[in-house]
């Protein structure tokens, strides 16, 4: 513990706050997909930097945990590095870039390609927890719609997409039904990642700092993406192989390589891509 900052409680939040968040988390786990209000605290990072996810992580972290932080699929963006550094300093926990080694994964924008295990927890940073917010701005009304499982409105939105574009145009934050009961925002992950949430072995926790909401999906819970019988949900990815590891079943980012319009498609999950490259290398040697 000698490397941690003096004067802070373990993982920055005081014990009372952590208990409050854990109570909200327990409620959230008990009612999969249902948003639980919590008394979000000010964090030493601005909203939009994952303060909701950070508070959830702080509330569940123990000294023996190993933390991985993903931002846009990568471990080495400014945001990911600063969150990792934050927890190294205030909790002294080990960090890793390897999904397989992590006990807690805090993420923005992606779910790792590697299947998560029962002994892992994934924490999502959520900017807008309410999937109906753009269709119905009144929170009292959205609360009522959830209470009555009255989700026709969300299907109207998808109908409008098909009428206008010929297909459901939502590529991120694609709404899901959790456990056949609650409509839930999966946070701005690509729709490609939605199927990974379905019956995931790991516990999934969601924290929205600005909106002060927590929700959860317990392990092995049904998570279905909304769709129509004649326009079934399709997890879309760029139709290419990764330029680095040749994968054809991972989510790809498009990278501009030069001023002449050269571009490449590479795995957005940098850890997974590196692992595949290493394996290929070993096999070649």
Which parts of this chain interact with Zn ion (CB under 5 A)?
Answer: 242, 244-245, 247, 267, 273
Is 262 tagged catalytic?
A: no
Residue with tokens 């609650």: 182
Is 39 tagged catalytic?
A: no
The torsion angles phi and psi of 29, rounded to 5 degrees, stand at: -70, -35
- Selecting among 92, 242, 261, 262, the annotated active-site residue is 242
CA angle 56, 268, 258 (to 5 degrees): 135
Helix axes 51-60, 78-91, angle to 10 degrees: 30
Token pair, residue 170, equals 């939502």
159 binds, among Zn ion, other proteins, none (CB under 5 to 8 A by kind): other proteins
Q: Are strands 182-184 and 176-178 parallel, antiparallel or unpaired?
A: antiparallel
How far apart, in whole angstroms, are the C-alpha atoms of residue 105 and residue 192? 19
> Which SS3 state, helix, strand or coil, does residue 15 take?
helix
230 binds, among other proteins, Zn ion, none (CB under 5 to 8 A by kind): other proteins
Residue with tokens 């049904």: 222
Residue with tokens 């991972």: 250
CB of 242 to Zn ion, least distance (A): 3
Is 267 tagged catalytic?
A: yes
Residue with tokens 């569940």: 60
CB of 229 to other proteins, least distance (A): 5
CB of 275 to other proteins, least distance (A): 39
* Choice between 71 and 130, CB closer to Zn ion: 71
- Selecting among 50, 53, 207, 273, the annotated active-site residue is 273
141 binds, among other proteins, Zn ion, none (CB under 5 to 8 A by kind): none
How far apart, in whole angstroms, are the C-alpha atoms of residue 173 and residue 21? 24
Closest CA to 252 of 260, 234, 240: 240
Is 152 tagged catalytic?
A: no
* Choice between 98 and 170, CB closer to other proteins: 170
CB of 223 to other proteins, least distance (A): 17
CB 207 within 8 A of CB 121: no
148 binds, among other proteins, Zn ion, none (CB under 5 to 8 A by kind): other proteins
* Choice between 161 and 253, CB closer to other proteins: 161
Binding site for other proteins (CB under 8 A): 144, 147-148, 150, 152-153, 155-156, 159-160, 162-164, 227-231
Is 48 tagged catalytic?
A: no
231 binds, among other proteins, Zn ion, none (CB under 5 to 8 A by kind): other proteins
- Tell me which residues are annotated as active site: 33, 242, 245, 267, 273
């Amino acid at each position: 513990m000698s490397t941690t900052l003096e004067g802070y409680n373990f993982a920055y939040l005081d014990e009372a706050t952590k208990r409050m968040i854990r109570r909200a988390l327990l409620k959230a786990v008990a009612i999969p997909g249902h948003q639980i209000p919590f008394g979000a605290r000010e964090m030493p990072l601005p909203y939009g930097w994952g303060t909701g996810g950070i508070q959830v992580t702080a509330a569940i972290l123990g000294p023996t945990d190993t933390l991985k932080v993903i931002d846009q699929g990568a471990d080495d963006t400014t945001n990911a590095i600063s969150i990792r550094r934050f927890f190294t300093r205030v909790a002294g926990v080990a960090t890793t870039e390897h999904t397989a080694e992590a006990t807690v994964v805090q993420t923005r924008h992606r779910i790792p390609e590697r299947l998560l295990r029962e002994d892992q927890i994934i924490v999502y940073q959520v900017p807008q927890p309410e999937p109906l917010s753009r269709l119905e701005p009144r929170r009292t009304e959205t609360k009522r719609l959830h209470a009555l499982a009255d989700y026709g409105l969300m299907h109207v939105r998808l109908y409008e997409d098909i009428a206008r574009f010929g297909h459901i145009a939502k590529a991120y934050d694609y709404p899901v039904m959790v456990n056949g009961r609650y409509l839930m925002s999966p946070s701005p992950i690509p729709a490609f990642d939605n199927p990974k949430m379905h019956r995931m072995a790991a516990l999934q926790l969601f924290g929205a700092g600005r909106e002060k909401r927590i929700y959860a999906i317990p392990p092995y819970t049904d998570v279905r993406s909304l769709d129509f019988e004649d326009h079934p949900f399709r997890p879309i990815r760029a139709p290419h192989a990764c330029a680095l590891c040749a994968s054809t079943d991972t989510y790809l980012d498009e990278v501009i390589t030069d001023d002449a319009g050269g571009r490449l498609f590479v795995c957005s999950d940098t850890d997974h891509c590196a692992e595949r490259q290493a394996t290929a290398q070993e096999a070649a040697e």
